[in-house]
A = this chain, B = another copy of it.
Amino acid sequence: MNRRSDCPVSCILEVVGDTWTLLLMRDILFLDKHRYDEFLNSPEGISSNVLTNRLHQMEKSGLIEKVPYSNHRYRFSYTATEKGQDLKPVLKAMSTWGFKHCENAKTPEEILGRGKNV
C-alpha cells in the first residue's frame, strides 16, 4: 500500500477517511446494525452500489468480517473485528464534537425512536 506518510493520523485516514466507512462503523458499533438492508435504511441514505463497495473495502481493510446468516448462502451478517472495535473512541470523540458544534444534532433515539446512543 502506497502511503502518503507514516503519520498515524494520515494512516487511519487512508483506512477510514471515507465518510461512508465511518457511518457504517457507527451503525455496526453503536446502532446494532449488521445486515445489508439495515445499513441501506440508515437515515443518511447510502446507495446500494456505494454500500456494496464500502462493505467490500472494509472487509479487505480488516475492519469487519461477514458470516452467512439464517441458512441464506448469499446473506451475510457484518460484525466488527478488533481493529474495527478500536474505532469506538474515534467515533465517540466525533459524536462529542458533533453534539457541541452541529446545531440540532440528535441521538439515534431522537432520530429513529430506537437504537442506542453513540
Give A contacts to B, CB under 8 Å: 4-15, 17, 19, 22-23, 26, 42-45, 83, 86-87, 89-102, 104-106, 108, 110-111, 118
Instruction: Pick the most buried of A6, A87, A96: most chain B CB atoms within 10 A of its CB.
Output: A6
Number of copies of this kind of chain in the complex: 2
**B106, A7: Cβ atoms under 8 Å?**
yes
**A12, B94: Cβ atoms under 8 Å?**
yes
Given contacts A6-B111, A44-B5, A93-B93, contact A12 B86 (CB under 8 A): no
Given contacts A19-B13, A23-B13, contact A6 B104 (CB under 8 A): yes
Looking across the interface, which residue of chain B has its beta carbon closest to that of A111?
B6
A91 to B11, CA, bound (A): 12
